[in-house]
């Protein structure tokens, strides 16, 4: 599978991507995870991305395209990839289109995961993330067995520092202004698959139906 997962922060892109990797061995590529890793490691990339991320603003298109050009050429992408959090602007979508044409690759679909804003707000304020492996928890519906400790890898589970109310509200506005227009872009490309995200299973089923049709 070669898919783009579109959807507001908290729509469940990461959860859906993780479930899909188990089906056919496609890799999940999350630009947010790559950037958080760079910030934690204190690399040059991390230093350049840190301030924008903390405020809930986007990192520059050039920086992101530099990362993705390298990433998509890696060997593990041969079995397919699930792009989670990329592209996020029209210039990124156009640059990705050019890059894939150069590489002779075609996307199967751009999946829009649609979730009401009040559900999103509730999810993001209660979301917790593992600093080690990126596993997602929720303090209300899916807490780790031991508070603050990842079930999978034992590393600390924390609230991301862009998950303050202010940064969340900014991220949702940034999504509406800069990322939502990608729905129209991929509709024109004939790649759009819109799904009502009642549950992750419903999203997975809709994707499998599309891929197998
Ligand atoms: P979410 O989807 O939950 O908002 P991500 O983990 O995808 O969060 O991204 C976290 C932050 O990383 C974003 O708010 C933004 O600052 C930066 N980021 C991630 N992907 C991109 C991208 N494709 N373009 C620009 N900035 C990005």
Residue range 148-192, pLDDT digits in tens: 999 999 999 999 888 888 888 899 999 999 999 999 999 999 999
Pocket test for ligand 1, best of 8, 59, 126 (most atoms within 8 A of CB): 59
Contacts of 206 (CB under 8 A, 6+ apart): 111, 193, 195
Among positive and negative, which fits the CA dihedral 171, 124, 118, 3? positive
Q: Whose CA is nearest to atom 23 of ligand 1?
A: 86
How many Å from the N-terminal Cα to the C-terminal Cα in the chain? Answer: 13
**What does the mean pLDDT of the chain come to?**
93
Interval 80-95 mean pLDDT:
97
The token duo for 107 is: 């996307």
At 213, the pLDDT band (50, 70, 90 cuts) reads confident
Q: Is the pLDDT of residue 93 over 90?
A: yes
pLDDT at 212 over 90: no
Which pLDDT band holds residue 51 (cuts at 50, 70, 90)? very high
From 13, 36, 123, 128, the catalytic residue: 13
Question: Does residue 147 surpass a pLDDT of 90?
Answer: yes
Q: What pLDDT does 129 receive?
A: 93
> What confidence category does residue 200 fall into, taking pLDDT thresholds of 50, 70 and 90?
confident
> Would you give the distance in Å from CA 32 to the centre of its chain?
7
pLDDT reading at 128 higher than 90: yes
Check residue 32 and give its pLDDT.
Answer: 93
Asked if 128 is an active-site residue, the reply is: no
Pocket probe for ligand 1: among 31, 135, 173, 177, the residue whose CB has the most ligand atoms within 8 Å is 31
The residues lining ligand 1, judged by C-beta closer than 6 Å to any ligand atom, are 9, 31-32, 35, 52-53, 56-59, 64, 85-88, 92, 162, 171
CA dihedral sign, ordered 52, 29, 112, 102: positive
Give pLDDT, residue 85.
96
- Mean pLDDT of the region 131-142: 92
CA 78-80-81 angle, to 5 degrees, is 120
């Amino acid at each position: 599978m070669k898919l783009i997962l579109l959807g507001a922060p908290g729509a469940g892109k990461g959860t859906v991507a993780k479930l899909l990797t188990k089906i056919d061995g496609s890799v999940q590529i999350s630009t947010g995870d790559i950037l958080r890793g760079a910030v934690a490691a204190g690399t040059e990339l991390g230093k350049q991305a840190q301030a924008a991320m903390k405020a809930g603003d986007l990192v520059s298109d050039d920086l992101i395209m530099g990362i993705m050009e390298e990433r998509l050429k890696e060997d593990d992408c041969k079995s397919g990839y699930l792009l989670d959090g990329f592209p996020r602007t029209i210039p990124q979508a156009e640059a990705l289109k050019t890059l894939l044409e150069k590489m002779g690759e075609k996307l199967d679909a751009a999946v829009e995961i649609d979730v009401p804003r009040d559900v999103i707000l509730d999810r993001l304020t209660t979301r917790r993330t593992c600093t080690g492996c990126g596993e997602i928890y929720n303090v209300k519906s899916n807490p780790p067995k031991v508070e603050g400790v990842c079930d999978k890898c034992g590393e600390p589970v924390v609230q991301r520092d862009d998950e303050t109310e202010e940064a969340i509200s900014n991220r949702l506005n940034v999504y509406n202004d800069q990322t939502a227009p990608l729905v129209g872009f991929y509709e024109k490309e004939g790649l759009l698959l819109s799904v009502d995200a009642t549950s992750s299973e419903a999203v997975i089923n809709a994707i499998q139906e599309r891929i197998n049709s």
